A and B are shown apart, each in its own frame.
Chain A
Amino acid sequence: MDFRIPFGSWVEAGLDWIEDNLDWLFDLLAAVYVALYDAVVWVVATPPAVVVIAVLAVLALAARGWRFGLGTALGLLFIVGVDQWDNAMETLALVVVAAFLAIVVAVPLGIWAARSDRVSAVIKPVMDFLQTMPAFVYLIPAIGLFGIGVAPGIFATVLFALAPGVRLTELGIRGVDREVVEAGQAFGSTPGRILRQIQLPLAMPSIMAGINQVIMLSLSMVVIAGMVGAGGLGGDVTKSLSALDTALGFEAGLSVVILAIILDRFTGAFGMKRGLHLIRRLRARGRADDAATTASSPGATAPSTARDTVAA
């Protein structure tokens, strides 16, 4: 059989061209990635573990209540206990940077796709490609472009985690009640203002679900990125694999799981209208103060409107 499509060589040639001609771009990207990563690592790894745990537990308490707060504290203490704290913080930094970059790209892309059917038609297959390509494959050109280290890990992670962010943003904005958008138009609002005041707030649950997915995919990819020397928990997982070290593998693996659960619950809290709920509660508290002075006015008008409520 002589028939053979030299697809692989094409891709390689294309990447070679990029390496030769766009080297400056990737050097710049690498510098940005590393700088961001170092900054986040500095924030989470400089203070003693106890301080970081306390801060995270308090945040968890505010977001979801005491059970989540307690769970967060215990989970993080377990990570400290199996001596994975430094790795976990490195992984956390990788996830934060990669997810941040992915969201910065994904949300505007999703908005753009929601506003134009043509853009949507182009973006959709690209996202399919990015999401279904086996994750390892991204690492190969990433090493070529960035060398070994944190930068190729972040690069590959951003590509892999992008898709759900774009998809759910587009879906959310397209799903906003058409009449409400029309109301914005009918009162003479500009498209930008409609986006800010109507479409984004109403699409927020869907966008937050997308961001949640981006973060979870980032975490799973960051572990794989341990193979290219991105460090963190992924590094230990890879090490345990090559050394057949079950103990180390499970300790690092379970730390990933704990990190994943904490991250998921955090973003989930803001996804399901939780953000709105918090704002509403704050407003209600503000109102309760002056409610006492104006208590008579709602009472006076209640009878006329009570009928409505009953009938409806």
Chain B
Amino acid sequence: MNDDTIALRADGLYKVFGRHADEAVIRLHQGTPRDQLGHGTTAAVIDASFEVRRGEIFVVMGLSGSGKSTLIRMLNGLHEATAGTVEIGGERITDIAPKRLREIRRQRVSMVFQHFALLPHRTVLDNVAYGLEIQGVAKAEREAKAREVTQIVGLAGWEDKLPGQLSGGMQQRVGLARALTADTDVLLMDEAFSALDPLIRREMQEQLLDLQATLGKTIIFITHDLNEAMFLGDRIAVMRDGRIVQVGTPEEILTDPANEYVEQFVQDVDRTRVLTAESVMRKPRAVVHPTAGARGALQVMRDEQLSAVYVTQRDRTLIGWVSDRDALDAVRRGERSLERIVRPDHGAVAHDTPLAELFIPALEAQLPLGVTDARGRLVGVVPRVTLLATLGGEPEADAQASPRPDPLPAAVVDRALEAAVDSGALETKEAI
């Protein structure tokens, strides 16, 4: 009933605290706003549905009170769902016997907590080995495994300390190690880095990405910090007042917010770190193929009012660029081929380069910054005006901005006229 790519699926999840919970679900389903449910009944999560793919980092983001902590606790049954289902690896975990639920927790899903939740009376090593201990793994084996993971998270040498002797960042490494040692496919992280200092937080985020890249865990990460969400998330679910208002990649959330709330929320995000060249690039106005020759290139540039143009193969593999001046000289010398005047220093950037790293190349490039895909093909360009417009929060603004090609010096124009007359390619009327 399930394909293997889905690690966890939530379908129509509701969590209502207080009296008349079932009745409240029906009323919410019929559209009653959550603040009209009456006294003593609180809807924490309303109709949450999403799928988490194997090996992805799925971030649930929302402010406090948005229901995100309740939601994550329903994903491993710490909170019983009032309605709806949760499946982990294709197996339902809602409405099952407590014994089976415990087995699933041991084998399928572990958790990292906001305030670490370590056992203060046990050493770091015993804490890290805790999951295996519950799984019934023999002492020697679990300690060997725990030692290994402790090393991975950078805590070698601290195995025999008590959690109270460690700093916050180190304690959370223990929490992370404990979850990793349990060796489950799915990792739930509840505001795991929120209690840490900003510098340590950044370090932990980077470490998490490293670990995820090597271990390939499926991670569901709860946070109230949008920058953290954008940094970590392959996909982000934005929650508000118990509902998921948008699910999408960081770029989708930024560039195409589902409603005003999300839009306001993402206002303060550092776009230049989230958006990539790919997300802001435009279709190149023109490219030329080597077969077009010098004259063909010059003609394209004239038509498009460009001072330079990219040269690509037929399959769009980027070769270099030519300037109008070089093309003119070549035409004047009677050269047909582009070969000698193509400059290879195109300075194009990879499609996944963050915006922040585009500014200097964009300044240095002679023409709109080229963007290439993994196979070196030119997939787009980023004009400087687009960069500016994106920073201003309105990526579409540059559509109206008129391009300003460098005016050709008078002498060049003369030569152009000359060349045009010589070749007969241009009509005099047009040249004027």
Stretch at the interface among B129-137, B230-238, B391-399: B129-137
Task: State whether the Cβ of B76 lies closer than 8 Å to any Cβ in chain A.
Answer: yes
Complex Cα gap A248–B178 (Å): 64
Contacts A182-B113, A308-B167 given; indicate if A187 touches B182 (C-beta within 8 A). Answer: yes
- Which chain A residues (262-312) contact chain B, with CB distance < 8 Å? 276, 280, 283, 287, 297-302, 304-305, 308-309, 311-312
Given A179-B115, A201-B121; A186-B167 close (CB under 8 Å): no
A183 within 8 A of B: yes
B196 proximity list for chain A (CB < 8 A): 312
Task: Let me know if A177 is at the binding interface, CB within 8 A.
Answer: yes
Complex contact B117–A177 (CB within 8 A): yes
* 1/0 contact string of A141-185 vs chain B (CB within 8 Å): 000000000000000000000000000000000000101101101
Query: When the two chains form the complex, which single residue of B105, B115, B178 contacts A185, counting CB atoms closer than 8 Å?
Result: B105
Partner of A298, one of B120, B158, B199: B158
A189 within 8 A of B: yes
Contact segment of A113-121, A190-198, A228-236: A190-198
Q: Is the pair A187, B157 in contact by a Cβ cutoff of 8 Å? A: no
* Chain A residues whose CB sits within 8 angstroms of the CB of B109 once the complex forms: 186
- Of A185, A189, A287, A299, the contact of B78 (CB 8 Å cutoff): A185
Let me know if B10 is at the binding interface, CB within 8 A. Answer: no
With A and B bound together, what is the CA distance between A182 and B70 in angstroms?
13
Within 8 A of A (CB), among B105-147: 105-107, 109-111, 113-121, 130-131, 134-135
Give the residues from 27 to 54 in chain B that come closer than 8 angstroms, CB to CB, to chain A.
none
Task: Choose among B120, B156, B200 the residue that contacts A311 (Cβ–Cβ < 8 A).
Answer: B200
B176 within 8 A of A: no
**Docked CA distance A83–B167 (Å):** 57
Q: Is the CB of B119 within 8 A of A198?
A: yes
- Complex CA gap A182/B188 in Å reads 13
Are A188 and B119 in contact, CB atoms less than 8 angstroms apart? Answer: no
CB-CB < 8 A to B158: which residues of A?
298, 301, 305
From the candidates B115, B134, B160, name the one contacting A188 in the complex (CB within 8 A).
Answer: B134
Complex Cα–Cα for A299 and B110 (A): 32
- Tell me the dominant secondary structure on chain A's binding face: helix
**A177 contacts which of B115, B134, B160 (Cβ < 8 Å)?**
B115
Contacting pair A187 B156 (CB below 8 A): no
Query: A70 → chain B, closest Cβ, in Å?
Result: 32
Taking A202-B121, A280-B162 as contacts, is the C-beta distance between A187 and B105 under 8 angstroms? yes
Residues of B with C-beta under 8 A to A189: 102, 134
Q: Given A177-B117, A179-B115, A186–B78 Cβ distance below 8 Å?
A: yes
- Known pairs A179-B113, A201-B121, A305-B155; A187 contacts B167 (CB<8 A): no
Chain A residues near B105 (CB-CB < 8 A): 185-188
| Residues of B with C-beta under 8 A to A305 | 154-155, 157-158, 170
Q: Contact at A188–B117, with CB atoms within 8 Å?
A: no
A280 and B107 alpha carbons, distance in the complex (Å): 32
Closest residue of chain B to A186 (Cβ to Cβ) is B111
* Known contacts A304-B154, A312-B197; A179 and B167 CB within 8 A of each other: no
Complex interface: chain A residues within 8 A of B167 (CB) = 308-309, 311-312
Closest beta carbon of chain B to A276's beta carbon, Å: 6
Nearest CB in chain B: distance from A158 CB, A: 31
Distance in angstroms from B316 CB to nearest chain A CB is 45
**B284 in the interface, Cβ–Cβ < 8 Å?**
no
- Give the distance in Å from the alpha carbon of A201 to the alpha carbon of B118 in the complex: 13
Q: B104, B155, B157, B200 — which one has the most chain A CB atoms within 10 A of its CB?
A: B157
A182-B115 Cα distance, complex, nearest whole Å: 12
Q: Residue on B with the closest CB to A190?
A: B102
Q: How far is the CB of A22 from chain B (nearest CB, A)?
A: 39
B117 touches A187 (CB 8 A): no
| Minimum CB–CB distance for B229 against chain A, Å | 22
- Kindly state whether residue B169 has any CB partner on chain A within 8 Å: yes
Q: Contacts of A299 on B, CB cut-off 8 Å?
A: 157
Chain B positions within 8 Å of A188 at CB level: 102-107, 131, 134-135
Give the CA-CA distance A36 to B157 in the complex, in Å: 51
B168 within 8 A of A: yes
With A179-B115, A287-B160, A305-B154 known as contacts, the answer to whether A187 contacts B120 (CB < 8 A) is no
Does A183 contact B117, Cβ atoms closer than 8 Å? yes
Does B121 contact A276, Cβ atoms closer than 8 Å?
Answer: yes
Which residue of chain B lies nearest to A302 when distances are taken between CB atoms in the complex?
A: B157
Contact assessment for A179 and B117 in the assembled complex, using a CB-CB cutoff below 8 Å:
yes
Complex: chain A residue closest to B167, CB-CB: A312
> Most chain-B Cβ atoms within 10 A of its Cβ — which of A187, A198, A299, A301?
A187
Question: A7 to chain B: closest CB distance in Å?
Answer: 37
Contacts of B135 in A (CB 8 A): 188
Nearest A-chain residue to B204, judged by Cβ: A308
B181 to chain A, nearest CB (A): 10
Task: Report the bound CA distance from A197 to B121 in whole Å.
Answer: 9
Q: How far is the CA of A299 from the CA of B118 in the complex (A)?
A: 25
Q: Judging by beta carbons under 8 Å apart, are B78 and A182 in contact? A: yes
Give, as a whole number of angstroms, the nearest-CB distance from A235 to chain B.
44
Per-residue CB contact flags for chain B residues 354-382 toward chain A (1 = under 8 Å, else 0) read 00000000000000000000000000000
Residues from 57 to 106 in A contacting B, C-beta threshold 8 Å: none
Closest B residue to A280 by beta carbon equals B162
Q: Mark B190-208, 1 if CB is under 8 A from A, else 0.
A: 0000001101100000000
User: 5 tightest CB-CB pairs across the interface, nearest first?
Assistant: A298-B157, A312-B167, A188-B106, A188-B105, A179-B117
The 18 sampled A-B contact pairs (Cβ below 8 Å) are: A179-B115, A180-B120, A182-B73, A182-B111, A182-B113, A186-B111, A187-B105, A187-B131, A188-B106, A193-B134, A201-B121, A280-B162, A297-B156, A298-B156, A305-B158, A311-B200, A312-B167, A312-B169
